Structure 1
Amino acid sequence: MTPPAPSTTAPQQSRQDTRRDLTQDLAHKIVAVGPHAGAHRVALRAALTVAVPLLLLWGTGHLAWSAYATFGAFCAVYARNDPWRARVGMQARAGAWLALSVTIGAVVALSDHRAWLSVPVTAAFAAVGSLLSDHWGWRPPGPLFTVFALGACSAIPATGTTVLAALLVGSGSVLFGLVVSAVAGMLGARGARAGQDAAPTPPPHVRPTDMGRHAVRAGVAVLLAGGVSTALGIGHPYWAMVSAVVPLMAREWLPALVRGIHRVLGTFVGLAIAAVLLWIDPPGLVVVLLVVVLQGCVELLVMRNYALALLLITPLALLMVQVANPEPMGTLLFDRGLQTLLGVVLGLLVGWAAAQLLPRSKELA
């Protein structure tokens, strides 16, 4: 007589329940859409901040410098819902770091060996940017924009003139963004007025040891992603470096995994939109207007669902690349997809390894 199969033990059942709960939680977080939370005000500021510099560059025949302006304009996304004085202060600090990143990227681009030189330089800036972000309580946290700015600008062949342009255009865009933010507050924009008497959102307390860990993992992830992609000969290694730090913006494993999945899914669907826009091959002014509209729409979505925002971030990034340094559409799309997947995988591996080495911490750091 065949003995009955042993029933599931209590520990086994508990593990199964835990896995099921985690899977359900992961699925929910992937598709969840957050509240609007006044995103239209941020979208308008961000769109205006990027529109004026790009239109000036187009009007003067220097649209090839558009990347420098766009990265400087990213200062507008910091402290999005803070009272305007606190917002301008955070944007000034983050913007100064962005302008420096743009300029150093252009300096790296002077070298014939810029592809390899960019990797350690960007990794170092990622680590320092992480420290600054934790120290100042930047929102959004982490060195993502630093990595994007320095990595992308280092890939655009440069001369002494373009280094000066990177400094002036990047810094000018930051300054204009601060003016837009301040004027929006002083004119009594609804969100700013509602928060005038309120204290700014206090930055999360980060212990010095955790600041160091965050910096190390950011630097290692960027160094690993950039090194592997460059060694493999895949174009645009900075896309892998950016994608590697995306999961690390989250402090816990599940949110990091969600961000990684969002990055891959949103990018791959966004490539279809980008392909259509690149195939149309719009003239310079139309590209500028598309970038402005896309930037505004990104800010409407990015805090609600990162994957949805990436449907627009992807064509926005590819349009910027084509304006600054045109190349075949197929190569561009292939590189973006492959580098995104590579970077996310390596970033998650770095985060997982850090968590294993620091078992007492609930964070990825």
Structure 2
Amino acid sequence: MSSSMLPHPRHLVAFGPHGGAHTVALRAGISMAVPLTALWLSGHLDLSLYAAFGAFTALYGRNHTHLPRLRMQTLAAAMLVSAVVIGTTVGVFEARQWIVVPVVAIVAALVTIVSNAADLHPPGALFATFAVAACASVPSTPASIGLALVVASASAALSLAIGVIGFAHPAARLRPRSTFSISFRDAIARPENVSTVARLMTGILIAGIVPTVVGIGHPYWAMVAVVAALSGPDATARLVRAGHRILGTILGLGLAALLFAADLPAPATIAVVVALQMTAELFIGRNYGLTMVFVTPLALCMIELAHAVDGGALIADRLVETLFGAVVGIGLTLLWRSRSSTVVDP
């Protein structure tokens, strides 16, 4: 293991530029607030998980101008809706806790290839992985699959519409245009991308199988954590991301405990979810660890909206699973790099 790959502690507290995050946060907040409020008013908050993942469409293409962003978000919407449907389908089976592990690994590999080919932003398979794994964890019926498709699609469509509203303003059409294109040949031909996909699938299988065998609740959080930890562009970035995931989750669980203790009614919980989503988007480009402080209670509140939960058990499971998934990611980053170095360096 080379010492050059080890991050300096200052990397954990470094802040990036603001980058106009307030507009992205506003789009993300509206995209989340409208479908959740509609489900609450119609008495169908049990479908809120599907709507939330569809709303994640708004998080893509933050630095693109309107039409290229629409193309990128359309691709992201297709991936997210498909992930929701796949996860819900897995949830129909009795052995869903075992089926979901290889399914998530395959989905993560495919989405990573698409992400590299289309240069998606945010990159990687984190949101799709989360969608498949979370939806698969909820027992469902064949009828649920259609509901999941409709709700997630409607929510994603709303996000697409919100993303292009600003194009009506004349000033928006005068801005320099960004581009969006897809090249699968380049994405598949790069050896480093093949290694990334193999490492990712290995991490998901380990992070999914071990907690399932041990019997720890919500093993999908370990799979999501390892995907997050392995999403950096190089070894140093992956180690920093794993550290951010651990520290941010620990602090975020404290905030989640306060929210659960408050025993908020559904409308207040929706308001909290929207506020957390917007706050997370304000910081995602600046410091991932701080973002996790808000993402952690956001994820737990999303679950609470859809189903009655034991807050204490949920928090404990989230901590254990995140620590395990991040450690698996750190281990694979170090070991995979070491093995490569052994082959290259005589």
Mapped pair 1:210 → 2:192: yes
Between 34-43 and 249-258, report the one with greater CA deviation: 249-258
CA contact (8 A) 2:70 2:164 kept: yes
Mapped pair 1:40 → 2:22: yes
Offset, 1:361: 11
**2: distance between equivalents of 1:259 and 1:118?**
25
Match of 1:276 in 2: 258
**1: distance between equivalents of 2:214 and 2:18?**
41
**1: distance between equivalents of 2:136 and 2:341?**
37
Offset, 1:360: 9.3
Task: Specify which of 198, 204, 213 is matched with residue 177 of structure 2.
Answer: 198
**2: distance between equivalents of 1:135 and 1:361?**
28
The residue type paired with residue 155 of structure 1 is: S
Offset, 1:171: 1.1
Offset, 1:295: 0.5
3-state secondary structure, aligned to 2:198: helix
What are structure 1's unaligned runs of at least 5 residues?
A: 1-14
- The Cα offsets for residues 273-332 of structure 1, whole Å up to 9 and x where unpaired, read as 000101112111111111111111110011101111111101100011112232211110
CA contact (8 A) 1:82 1:200 kept: yes
The residue type paired with residue 284 of structure 1 is: A
Aligned ranges for residues 256-271 of structure 1 at < 5 Å? 256-271=238-253
**2: distance between equivalents of 1:81 and 1:172?**
24
Task: Specify which of 103, 106, 115 is matched with residue 124 of structure 1.
Answer: 106
Task: Specify which of 26, 49, 62 is matched with residue 80 of structure 1.
Answer: 62
Task: Specify which of 81, 94, 107 is matched with residue 112 of structure 1.
Answer: 94
Offset, 1:201: 7.5
CA contact (8 A) 1:156 1:324 kept: no
Mapped pair 1:95 → 2:102: no
CA contact (8 A) 2:118 2:180 kept: no
When Rg is computed on C-alpha atoms for both structures, the one with the higher figure is: 1
CA contact (8 A) 2:5 2:235 kept: no
Offset, 1:202: 8.0
Offset, 1:220: 1.4
**2: distance between equivalents of 1:26 and 1:203?**
35
Shift in CA distance, 199/337, structure 1 to aligned 2, threshold 3 Å: same
Task: Specify which of 203, 226, 238 is matched with residue 221 of structure 1.
Answer: 203
Mapped pair 1:62 → 2:44: yes
The residue type paired with residue 161 of structure 2 is: V
CA contact (8 A) 1:138 1:203 kept: no
**2: distance between equivalents of 1:319 and 1:228?**
26
Match of 2:275 in 1: 293
Offset, 1:160: 2.4
Match of 1:183 in 2: 165
Task: Specify which of 124, 129, 154 is matched with residue 147 of structure 1.
Answer: 129
The residue type paired with residue 253 of structure 2 is: L
**2: distance between equivalents of 1:263 and 1:356?**
23
Offset, 1:193: 5.4
Match of 1:171 in 2: 153
TM-score (normalised: structure 2): 0.93
TM-score (normalised: structure 1): 0.88
Mapped pair 1:317 → 2:299: yes
The residue type paired with residue 220 of structure 2 is: Y
Offset, 1:271: 0.4
Shift in CA distance, 38/202, structure 1 to aligned 2, threshold 3 Å: farther
CA contact (8 A) 1:130 1:218 kept: no
**2: distance between equivalents of 1:229 and 1:280?**
30
The count of aligned residue pairs is: 341
Percent identical residues: 38
Match of 2:236 in 1: 254
Between 262-271 and 203-212, report the one with greater CA deviation: 203-212
Between 145-154 and 283-292, report the one with greater CA deviation: 283-292
